[in-house]
């Protein structure tokens, strides 16, 4: 030791070195080390002014550092030390803030004393946050420390302090009227003004929430009462997010908010835990016995019931805790659980079981209505049948559910409308008529029902009914354009009938009535075309020609006019020779001139679609004429939906060449869009599923399962029809295991497909050849040789197998086998 | 989904008239011109349980994984008023968080 001491005396570290070390620490923000070094250096050289100044900086830096770490008391000490070195007191407001943070209220107030010495300081003390600080400090029992800081107006401060105390007392005791009276004694200029506003907002929070919120808005962000005011705001506004919002408040304000909402801190903690959990954890939490200490049992039960469909495993525990549930409720919970997991078949079964246990007919009706709304069906009524085929329950369908709903609740207007729409979309005239009759009987004056009934009756061809509904609608709403349109159509239909009966005078009368019924602004020219046809039949060619010219001037789209003329000529049975006299091959000329665009082409398709309903029109002849228009329209930029609609139209009319072009363009524009892939496949196979690639068919089957929610009914229907040619199950995923997950199923399906196509041919062959063909087929299927099978299928699908063809097919099959046919 | 019964402040056994009265009271409390969000919530809640049929449908088909726990936070319907001691204690605590301007 002695040696060490001696050594330190011999080699003391120079003050300059220590000082420079301190300065390095200071620059690097290592304030603690800087303070130690600079203090040591100052001991060696007490007159070094620079070191002294740097030490003050180091103390202040350390104060900030400690304050940011939450060590406010220690920070305040550092600030005091820096003041002692310079001989001048540190910033009083900063020091006060640090003491307040450290919970030393008396010291905080003492530290403000230097402010009293200057007029500027006195001004700071009497306004803003410091004035509020003094007021609140006095309210919480620091009057003695506050008094020295007050200026000459201390008497008014004391007076306001007394009033504020009385105000708090009155508010806490619930003496609201007295409190409201005391509020008036505290002027807006008083440092107690925010106490006044806060208490006022608190008192009004229950009876006058809006006024309370307006008062809360008056409390500035910097005010001590701001967090408390926010607590009052939350308790006033309520709502689902209130508990989360409370969590974000400062602890005192959180206490106030939970107090105002009558939630104990323990209950608040429990709610926060429940909020953070997954559904099953929440239900577990709600079922915990301890929660009954804080919350009413009925509320806990209700919340559990809402959650049970997400965690049905707790059904048993729930019933132990809250007593047994009625059977229908148990099935309801299971059904909702299955719905959440997209297991629609199971959900339907559970709902049906629930209905069987229900007494209330309204509830039953609601469940059936709910079942009818399952998205899985889309609008294909047969899908549920496929769904339940495996269980032998084929009596479930959307229409059936809606009808069952009406049986239990015949006064449900929406269900009537839904059922009407459903039958109408399926063009089921008989059912539409039955539904219309029932709906109109139940709601004779309902405009929506009458409108739906009118449209459905018109679409199903029952014109008389449609007219009677249209007339009823026009009584209520004389400017109803659709009703007027239907009346006109009905008169035209009568006129055509009369022409057929060769009673041209009566037909003329009908057309006159039709013309007078039609409004000029909505005139489409059809009545005039009909008049022209009638004139032609009477031999008044000139009149007919003039009439048609008027129509041509009226309508912009000349092709639409020509279609109208062609259709009415057919309907009025105008001989071709007569027609030639006046229209002189106009249709073809118009077609040759037409340049289809994004508006006219889809409109033309819609128009043709409407004409298709009339079975007497020579549609095929028209399509032949229109083929150049279709070809020209392939590259017209139309929306995906419109292109799909065109493709559907072309497919339904077996126009495979343009369909292939339209589908190809669709694929080019929208990549691998499954619907265009389907149209392309159908076009290439010329509508014969046997000619289509088997793997493409399988992919189509998969597409249909995944696309059912976003594809339109028409495309889905066409897909289903195409698949049904090969006995495909459109919803393989529902009917059994999905083709992706079950190879055995797929192989069996392939074999079935092979047998259905090749089987009848093989029957006529000898047993030996037959078994060779089957073995070869199985082997090639295994090897993935599609082309072998395709060749067979292609040969077989050429047409009806007459004797000659049959022999040829056998010859080809045998040749294929013997030559090791197909392409591996 | 928010609990419409909680928003309207009615119990589960409420009838049509009860819903109507609660709705009118709430829209007086939250007029749309001043409180559009609150008004919308009240209107939506009312539309969910306005009639017997709608209440039955809500009872049958409503289930929510994100169950709204707000009803737990305000079940008694009676607001608690803090005592003087509590008010004083909170003010003391708040003094520690007062934001003072250090510039003089």
Identity of the residue in B70, B98, B100 whose CB atom sits nearest the CB atom of A240: B70
- Cβ-contact A504, A538 below 8 angstroms: yes
Task: Report how far residue A692's alpha carbon sits from residue A461's, in angstroms, rounded to the nearest whole number.
Answer: 37
Q: Which contacts of A630-634 are long-range, i.e. CB under 8 A and separated by 24 or more positions?
A: A630/A655, A630/A658, A630/A662, A631/A658, A631/A661, A632/A594, A632/A595, A632/A596, A633/A596, A633/A601, A634/A658, A634/A661, A634/A662, A634/A665
- Cβ-contact A231, A254 below 8 angstroms: yes
The DSSP annotation for A315-380 comes to: HHHHHHHH-PPPHHHHHHHHHHHHHHTT-HHHHHHHHHHHHHT---HHHHHHHHHHHHT-GGGTT-
Compare all CA atoms of chain B with the CA of A255 and give the residue at the minimum distance: B90
Hey, is A189 helix, strand or coil?
coil
Look at A279 and B67 and tell me if their CB atoms are within 8 Å.
Answer: yes
- Cβ-contact A129, B99 below 8 angstroms: yes
For residue A248, give the nearest of A263, A231, A235 by alpha carbon.
A231
- Cβ-contact A317, A286 below 8 angstroms: no
Q: Supply φ then ψ for residue A226, to 5 degrees.
A: -60, -50
Identity of the residue in A222, A260, A340 whose CB atom sits nearest the CB atom of B80: A260
For residue B26, give the nearest of B40, B15, B11 by alpha carbon.
B40
Look at A224 and B65 and tell me if their CB atoms are within 8 Å.
Answer: no
Q: What pLDDT shows up at residue A800?
A: 47
Look at B60 and A370 and tell me if their CB atoms are within 8 Å.
Answer: yes
Q: How far does the CA of residue B24 sit from the closest CA of chain A (Å)?
A: 15
Q: Cβ of B100 under 8 Å from any chain A Cβ?
A: yes
Whether residue B14 is contained in a domain is answered as yes
Whether residue B44 is contained in a domain is answered as yes
User: In whole angstroms, how far apart are CA B101 and each of A88, A142, A430?
Assistant: 20, 22, 84
For residue B12, give the nearest of B4, B1, B2, B22 by alpha carbon.
B4
Task: Report how far residue A251's alpha carbon sits from residue A241's, in angstroms, rounded to the nearest whole number.
Answer: 18
Q: What pLDDT shows up at residue A777?
A: 66
Task: Report how far residue A105's alpha carbon sits from residue A555's, in angstroms, rounded to the nearest whole number.
Answer: 90
Q: What pLDDT shows up at residue A737?
A: 34
For residue A704, give the nearest of A659, A658, A739, A670 by alpha carbon.
A739
Q: How far does the CA of residue A288 sit from the closest CA of chain B (Å)?
A: 15
Task: Report how far residue A642's alpha carbon sits from residue A376's, in angstroms, rounded to the nearest whole number.
Answer: 24
**Residue of B39, B67, B77, B86 to mutate, interface with A, max A Cβ within 10 Å:** B67
- Cβ-contact A629, A662 below 8 angstroms: no
Whether residue B40 is contained in a domain is answered as yes
Please name the residue ranges forming H helices in A524-575.
526-537, 541-554, 558-571
Q: Which contacts of A554-558 are long-range, i.e. CB under 8 A and separated by 24 or more positions?
A: A554/A523, A554/A525, A554/A528, A555/A524, A555/A525, A557/A600, A557/A603, A557/A604, A558/A590, A558/A593, A558/A594
Tokens of A97: 């803030």
Residue A334 burial (CB count, 10 A):
21
* A123 secondary structure, DSSP code: H
Q: How far does the CA of residue B26 sit from the closest CA of chain A (Å)?
A: 11
Tokens of A543: 């009149």
Look at B73 and A243 and tell me if their CB atoms are within 8 Å.
Answer: yes
Q: What pLDDT shows up at residue A729?
A: 44
Identity of the residue in B53, B69, B90 whose CB atom sits nearest the CB atom of A228: B90
Look at A302 and B71 and tell me if their CB atoms are within 8 Å.
Answer: yes
- For chain A, which residues make up each domain, given as ranges? 639-741, 746-818
- Count chain A–chain B contacts defined by CB atoms under 8 A: 189
CB contacts, 8 Å: A259 with chain B: 80, 82, 86
CB contacts, 8 Å: A214 with chain B: none
CB contacts, 8 Å: B56 with chain A: 360, 362-363, 366
Residue A242 burial (CB count, 10 A):
21
Look at A274 and B7 and tell me if their CB atoms are within 8 Å.
Answer: no
Q: What pLDDT shows up at residue A732?
A: 36
Compare all CA atoms of chain A with the CA of B45 and give the residue at the minimum distance: A239
Look at A262 and B62 and tell me if their CB atoms are within 8 Å.
Answer: no
Q: Which residues contact A427 (CB under 8 A, 6 or more apart)?
A: A459, A460
Residue A83 burial (CB count, 10 A):
18
Cα A779 vs. chain centroid, distance in angstroms? 49
Query: Scanning the structure block, which residue is given the tokens 């083929």?
Result: A627
CB contacts, 8 Å: A242 with chain B: 70, 73-74
Compare all CA atoms of chain B with the CA of A173 and give the residue at the minimum distance: B83
Q: Which residues contact A211 (CB under 8 A, 6 or more apart)?
A: A204
Look at B73 and A242 and tell me if their CB atoms are within 8 Å.
Answer: yes
CB contacts, 8 Å: A96 with chain B: 100
Whether residue B63 is contained in a domain is answered as yes
User: In whole angstroms, how far apart are CA A659 and each of A108, A485, A619, A670, A803?
Assistant: 88, 33, 17, 16, 34
CB contacts, 8 Å: A274 with chain B: 69, 72
If contacts are CB pairs under 8 Å, which of residues 29-88 in chain B contact chain A?
A: 29-31, 34-35, 38, 41, 52-53, 56-57, 60-65, 67-76, 78-84, 86-88
Look at B91 and A224 and tell me if their CB atoms are within 8 Å.
Answer: yes
CB contacts, 8 Å: B28 with chain A: none
Note the pLDDT tens digit of each residue in A103-155.
Answer: 788 888 888 878 877 888 777 777 778 888 888 888 888 888 887 777 765 67
Hey, is A293 helix, strand or coil?
helix
Instruction: Report ipTM (2 d.p.).
Output: 0.79
Task: Report how far residue A248's alpha carbon sits from residue A789's, in angstroms, rounded to the nearest whole number.
Answer: 70
Hey, is A54 helix, strand or coil?
helix
Q: What pLDDT shows up at residue A794?
A: 59
User: In whole angstroms, how far apart are CA A228 and each of A134, A199, A232, A235, A260?
Assistant: 18, 10, 6, 11, 11
Identity of the residue in B31, B34, B84 whose CB atom sits nearest the CB atom of A168: B84
Cα A709 vs. chain centroid, distance in angstroms? 13
User: In whole angstroms, how far apart are CA A323 and each of A298, A315, A318, A353, A576?
Assistant: 12, 11, 7, 21, 83
Q: What pLDDT shows up at residue A485?
A: 87
**Angle (deg, nearest 10), helices A176-183 and A154-172:** 160
Q: What pLDDT shows up at residue B49?
A: 94
Given a cut of 50, the residues of chain A with pLDDT beneath it are 1-11, 240, 378-394, 729-743, 799-801, 820-824
Q: Which residues contact A563 (CB under 8 A, 6 or more apart)?
A: A587, A607, A608, A611, A622
Hey, is B94 helix, strand or coil?
helix
Whether residue B102 is contained in a domain is answered as no
Whether residue B52 is contained in a domain is answered as yes
Tokens of A625: 């004429």
Q: How far does the CA of residue A45 sit from the closest CA of chain B (Å)?
A: 34
CB contacts, 8 Å: A140 with chain B: 88, 91-92, 95
Q: Give a three-class secondary structure readout of A582-639.
A: HHCCHHHHHHHHCCCCCCHHHHHHHHHHHHHCCCCCCHHHHHHHHHHHHHHHCCCCCC
- Cβ-contact A350, A338 below 8 angstroms: yes
Task: Give the count of domains, chain B.
Answer: 1
Look at A306 and B53 and tell me if their CB atoms are within 8 Å.
Answer: no
Tokens of A559: 């092709």
- Cβ-contact A665, A644 below 8 angstroms: no
Q: Cβ of B13 under 8 Å from any chain A Cβ?
A: no
Q: Cβ of B93 under 8 Å from any chain A Cβ?
A: yes
Tokens of B11: 């119990």
CB contacts, 8 Å: B68 with chain A: 240
**Residue of B1, B66, B92, B98 to mutate, interface with A, max A Cβ within 10 Å:** B98
Look at B69 and A271 and tell me if their CB atoms are within 8 Å.
Answer: yes
How far apart are the two ends of chain A, measured CA to CA in Å?
98
Q: What pLDDT shows up at residue A28?
A: 80
CB contacts, 8 Å: B57 with chain A: 366, 370
Compare all CA atoms of chain B with the CA of A295 and give the residue at the minimum distance: B72
CATH code for position B29? 1.10.287.110
Hey, is A797 helix, strand or coil?
coil
User: In whole angstroms, how far apart are CA A145 and each of A103, A112, A122, A439?
Assistant: 15, 10, 16, 84
**Angle (deg, nearest 10), helices A279-287 and A315-322:** 20
Q: What pLDDT shows up at residue A159?
A: 85
Whether residue B103 is contained in a domain is answered as no
Which domain does B91 fall in, by range? 4-95
For residue A459, give the nearest of A485, A497, A495, A496 by alpha carbon.
A485
Q: How far does the CA of residue B23 sit from the closest CA of chain A (Å)?
A: 15
Q: How far does the CA of residue A295 sit from the closest CA of chain B (Å)?
A: 7
Q: Supply φ then ψ for residue A517, to 5 degrees.
A: -70, -35
CB contacts, 8 Å: B7 with chain A: 239
Q: Give a three-class secondary structure readout of A798-824.
A: CCCCCHHHHHHHHHHHHHHHHCCCCCC
Residue A411 burial (CB count, 10 A):
11
Tokens of B1: 């989904």
């Amino acid at each position: 030791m002695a040696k060490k001491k001696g050594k330190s005396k011999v080699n003391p570290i120079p003050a300059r070195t220590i000082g420079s070390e301190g300065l390095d620490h200071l620059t690097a923000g290592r304030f603690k080390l800087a303070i130690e070094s600079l203090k040591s250096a100052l001991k060696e050289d007490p007159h070094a002014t620079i070191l002294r100044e740097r030490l003050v900086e180091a103390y202040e830096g350390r104060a900030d550092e400690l304050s940011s770490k939450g060590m406010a008391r220690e920070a305040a000490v550092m600030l005091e030390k820096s003041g002692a070195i310079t001989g001048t007191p540190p910033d009083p407001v900063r020091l006060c803030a640090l003491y307040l943070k450290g919970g030393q209220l008396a010291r905080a107030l003492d530290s403000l004393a230097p402010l009293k010495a200057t007029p500027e300081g006195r001004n700071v003390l009497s306004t803003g946050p410091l004035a509020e600080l003094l007021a609140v400090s006095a309210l919480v029992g620091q009057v003695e420390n506050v008094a020295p800081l007050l200026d000459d107006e201390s008497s008014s401060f004391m007076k306001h302090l007394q009033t504020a105390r009385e105000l708090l007392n009155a508010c806490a005791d619930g003496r609201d009227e007295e409190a409201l009276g005391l509020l008036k004694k505290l002027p807006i200029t008083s440092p107690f003004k925010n106490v006044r506003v806060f208490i006022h907002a608190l008192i009004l929070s229950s009876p006058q929430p809006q006024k309370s919120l307006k008062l809360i808005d008056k409390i500035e962000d910097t005010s001590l009462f701001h967090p408390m005011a926010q607590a009052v705001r939350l308790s006033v506004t309520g709502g689902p997010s209130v508990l989360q919002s409370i969590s974000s408040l400062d602890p005192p304000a959180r206490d106030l908010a939970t107090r105002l909402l009558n939630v104990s801190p323990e209950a608040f903690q429990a709610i926060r835990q429940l909020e953070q959990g997954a559904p099953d954890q929440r239900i577990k939490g709600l079922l915990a016995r301890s929660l009954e200490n804080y919350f009413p049992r009925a509320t806990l039960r209700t919340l559990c019931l809402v959650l049970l469909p997400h965690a049905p495993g707790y059904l048993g525990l729930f019933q132990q805790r809250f007593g047994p549930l009625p059977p229908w409720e148990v099935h309801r919970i299971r059904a909702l659980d299955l719905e959440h997991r997209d297991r629609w078949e199971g959900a339907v079964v559970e709902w049906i079981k629930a209905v069987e246990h229900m007494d209330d007919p309204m509830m039953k009706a609601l469940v059936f209505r709910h079942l009818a709304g399952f998205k899985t069906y889309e609008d294909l009524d047969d899908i549920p049948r496929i769904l339940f085929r495996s269980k032998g329950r084929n009596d479930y369908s959307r229409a059936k559910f809606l009808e069952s709903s009406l049986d239990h609740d015949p006064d449900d207007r929406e269900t009537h409308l839904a059922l009407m729409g459903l039958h109408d979309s399926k063009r089921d005239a008989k059912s539409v008529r039955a539904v219309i009759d029932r709906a109109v009987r139940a709601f004779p004056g309902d405009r929506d029902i009458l409108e739906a009934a009118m449209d459905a009756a018109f679409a199903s061809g029952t014109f008389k009914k449609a007219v009677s509904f249209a007339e009823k609608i026009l009584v209520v709403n004389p400017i109803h354009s659709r009703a007027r349109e239907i009346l006109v159509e009905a008169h035209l239909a009568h006129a055509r009938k009369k022409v057929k009966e060769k009673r041209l005078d009566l037909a003329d009368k009908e057309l006159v009535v039709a013309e007078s019924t039609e409004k000029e602004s909505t005139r489409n020219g059809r009545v005039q075309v009909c008049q022209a046809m009638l004139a032609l039949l009477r031999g008044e060619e000139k009149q007919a020609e003039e009439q048609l010219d008027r129509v041509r001037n009226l309508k912009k789209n000349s092709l639409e006019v020509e279609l109208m003329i062609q259709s009415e000529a057919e309907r009025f049975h105008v001989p071709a020779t007569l027609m030639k006299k006046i229209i002189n091959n106009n249709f073809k000329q118009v077609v040759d001139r037409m340049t289809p665009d994004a508006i006219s082409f889809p409109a033309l398709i819609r128009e043709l679609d409407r004409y298709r309903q009339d079975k007497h029109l020579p549609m095929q002849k028209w399509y032949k004429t229109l083929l150049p228009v279709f070809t020209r329209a392939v590259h017209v930029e139309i929306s995906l939906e419109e292109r799909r609609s065109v493709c559907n139209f072309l497919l339904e009319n077996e126009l495979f060449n343009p369909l292939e072009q339209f589908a190809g363009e669709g694929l080019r524009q929208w990549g691998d869009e499954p619907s265009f892939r389907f149209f392309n496949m159908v076009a290439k196979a010329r509508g014969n599923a046997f000619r289509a690639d088997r793997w493409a068919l399988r992919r189509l089957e998969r597409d249909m399962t995944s696309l059912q929610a976003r594809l339109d009914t028409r495309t889905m229907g066409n897909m289903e029809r195409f698949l049904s040619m090969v006995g495909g199950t459109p919803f393989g995923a529902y009917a059994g295991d999905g083709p992706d997950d079950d190879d055995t199923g797929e192989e069996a399906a392939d074999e079935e497909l092979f047998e259905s196509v090749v089987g009848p041919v093989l029957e006529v062959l000898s047993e030996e050849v037959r078994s060779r063909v089957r073995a070869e087929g199985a082997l090639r299927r295994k090897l993935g040789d599609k082309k072998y099978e395709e060749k067979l299928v292609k040969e077989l699908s050429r047409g009806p197998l007459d004797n000659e063809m049959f022999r040829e097919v056998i010859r080809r099959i045998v040749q294929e086998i013997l030559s090791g046919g197909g392409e591996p | 989904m928010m609990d419409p019964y909680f928003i309207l402040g009615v119990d589960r056994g409420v009838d049509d008239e009860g819903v109507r009265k609660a709705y009118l009271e709430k829209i007086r409390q939250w007029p749309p011109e001043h409180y559009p969000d609150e008004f919308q919530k009240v209107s939506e809640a009312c539309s969910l349980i306005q009639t017997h049929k709608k209440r039955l449908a809500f009872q049958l088909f409503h289930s929510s994984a994100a169950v709204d726990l707000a009803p737990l936070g305000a079940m008694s319907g009676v607001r608690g008023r803090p005592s003087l001691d509590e008010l004083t204690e909170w003010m003391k605590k708040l003094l520690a968080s007062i934001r003072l301007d250090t510039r003089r």
